[in-house]
């Protein structure tokens, strides 16, 4: 095979690889939908989310609420049920527990008066952390 043919074959292979590896609009992950005016949101570490499926308790590795399903979202009291996951290196056992979160204190934020959020968030877990007796704790809630 001549050098000229080899070069053409290499270019063809690179072009095909580029076409395969290039992001396609049909396969790219969609950006999260921005909340619309009038919707209720929960500020999840500063990001407004409608009916969040996961709520983070801290910026660093820490326990988080996952697989949340909501009832009464957008009313004065929203209730979510899911799993508290605390599998980080510094988290106390047990690693997974059922959790219920109650959001109350429905208010408008000064930063964006078109959205409403919840001022209070109380999580109730099925079992306390190792060495603890409480199964209730407060999460950050309110306007950023």
Confidence of residue 33 (pLDDT cuts 50, 70, 90): low
Among 18-22, 97-101, 106-110, 115-119, the minimum mean pLDDT is found in: 18-22
**Segment 51-106, tens digit of pLDDT:** 999 998 887 778 899 999 999 999 999 999 999 998 877 777 778 999 999 999 99
Average pLDDT over residues 3-28: 37
Among 5-9, 40-44, 90-94, 95-99, the minimum mean pLDDT is found in: 5-9
Q: What is the pTM of this model?
A: 0.70
Alpha-carbon span 106 to 95, nearest angstrom: 31
Computed over every residue of the chain, the mean pLDDT equals 77
């Amino acid at each position: 095979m001549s050098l000229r043919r080899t070069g053409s074959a290499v270019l063809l292979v690179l072009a095909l690889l580029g076409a395969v590896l290039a992001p396609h609009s049909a396969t790219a992950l969609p950006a999260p939908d921005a909340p619309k005016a009038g919707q209720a949101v929960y500020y999840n570490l500063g990001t407004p989310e409608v009916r969040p499926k996961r709520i983070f308790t801290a910026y660093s590795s820490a326990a988080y609420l996952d697989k949340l399903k909501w009832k009464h979202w957008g009313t004065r009291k929203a209730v979510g049920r899911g799993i508290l996951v605390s599998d980080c290196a510094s988290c106390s056992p047990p690693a997974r527990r059922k959790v219920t979160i109650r959001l109350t204190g429905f208010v408008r934020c000064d930063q964006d008066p078109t959205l409403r959020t919840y001022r209070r968030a109380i999580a109730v877990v099925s079992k306390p952390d190792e060495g603890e007796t409480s199964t209730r704790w407060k999460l950050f809630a309110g306007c950023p």
